DNA sequence: GAAATAAAAGAGTAAAAACTCTTTTATTTT
DNA sequence: AAAATAAAAGAGTTTTTACTCTTTTATTTC
């Protein structure tokens, strides 16, 4: 569905969003533990996202990664596009070079519906919106 | 969504299904051209599927790949599971080690619905069912 | 200002996915 | 029987994805 890199990215962003609500910056070691990912790998991923402006970072003691108010308004689709590109939202389900009504693959109609549902899922909530259920312990970022 | 290998496999199976309706066995060269795939690669894939019993093959002149009546009754999900395993139908959307109600990830509920829709899409039609729209030129296996 | 902390940057490695090549075996046609 | 055809098998290569390590730079605390 999405790359492993992207899965880590989303989980990390959701975790950072939680902490950012209380204005806490969080280090890469802490993040890696919270989402169960390889520490240097999630570091790389977040540096890339930071360069792209999806989150902020600060060096030195008390430093770490955090989200500003604009950042907290992002949705999961924003992260997916930044990491994997938009093929999940526009590509053909059977791998034709492009998806279009003109020369549709056998599952085109149904696949368009699936894609729309995925898009809705990933656009209907901001990172911020996930905070309460995470805080209440109803939802988890690792297992 | 599914691996490239799996996309080739599905397109090839749909093409072979078409030919098998008229009892024609089709060679790997012909298949590769029809679905626009690397010839030795689709050969490997089909050999694997043949070993698993998803389609039949015959060596020598007039030989090639073909589907028997049982084979024509298969659906796309059968192919996906044979090639990629069942993680598309059972795995967590955010990459948690397993998906379950007990410790659900933040998008669990919505993702379960997506998975169900994908499953429906891939189980509601047999290979045979795709034949007419392909023959009529309403749907395509390459572009 | 020195020591400690934490991200940035960049090079490097490992594993998996995608793809190729060569040889062998089975079948059919002549 | 010989020649031709086509899949089977297996080893090998390339590319991409996943992941690691080391050094540098910025910031803060003492
Ligand atoms: S052409 Fe395949 S999904 Fe649209
Ligand atoms: S736990 Fe993530 S989809 Fe079910």
Contact A39, A32 (CB under 8 A): yes
Query: Residue B79 in contact with residue A114, Cβ under 8 Å?
Result: no
pLDDT one-digit tens code per residue, B101-131: 999 999 999 999 999 999 999 999 999 999 9
What is the predicted pLDDT for the residue at B127? 98
**How does residue B143 score in pLDDT terms, banded at 50, 70 and 90?**
very high
Residue A108, pLDDT score: 98
Q: State pLDDT tens for residues A96-143.
A: 999 999 999 999 999 999 999 999 999 999 999 999 999 999 999 999
Nucleotide with the nearest C1' to A56 CA: C7
Q: Would you call B19 an interface residue with chain A, using a CB distance cutoff of 8 Å? A: no
Cβ atoms of A105 and A92 closer than 8 Å? yes
Comparing CB atoms, the residue among B2, B105, B117 nearest residue A114 is: B117
Which residues make Cβ contacts (< 8 Å) with residue A24, sequence separation at least 6?
A66
pLDDT in tens, B59-106: 999 999 999 999 999 999 999 999 999 999 999 999 999 999 999 999
Q: Is the CB of A4 under 7 A from strand D?
A: yes
Nearest CA of chain A to the CA of B67: how many Å? 19
Among 1.25.40.10, 1.10.1790.20, 1.10.10.10, 3.30.2270.10, name the CATH number for the domain at A4-135.
Answer: 1.10.10.10
Instruction: Check residue B41 and give its pLDDT.
Output: 98
Q: Tokens for B7?
A: 């996309």
Rounded distance in angstroms from the CA atom of residue A83 to the C1' atom of nucleotide C6: 24
């Amino acid at each position: 569905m999405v790359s492993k890199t992207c899965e880590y990215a989303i989980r990390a962003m959701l975790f950072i969003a939680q902490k950012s609500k209380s204005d806490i910056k969080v280090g890469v070691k802490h993040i890696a533990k919270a989402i169960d990912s390889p520490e240097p790998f999630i570091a790389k991923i977040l540096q890339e996202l930071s360069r792209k402006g999806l989150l902020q970072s600060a060096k030195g003691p008390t430093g770490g990664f955090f989200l500003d108010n604009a950042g907290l308004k992002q949705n999961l689709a924003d992260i997916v596009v930044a990491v994997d590109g938009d093929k999940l939202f526009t590509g053909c389900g059977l791998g034709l070079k492009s998806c279009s009504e003109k020369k549709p693959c056998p599952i085109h109609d149904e696949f368009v519906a699936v894609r729309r549902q995925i898009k809705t899922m990933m656009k209907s909530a901001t990172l911020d919106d996930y905070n309460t259920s995470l805080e209440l312990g109803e939802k988890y970022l690792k297992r």
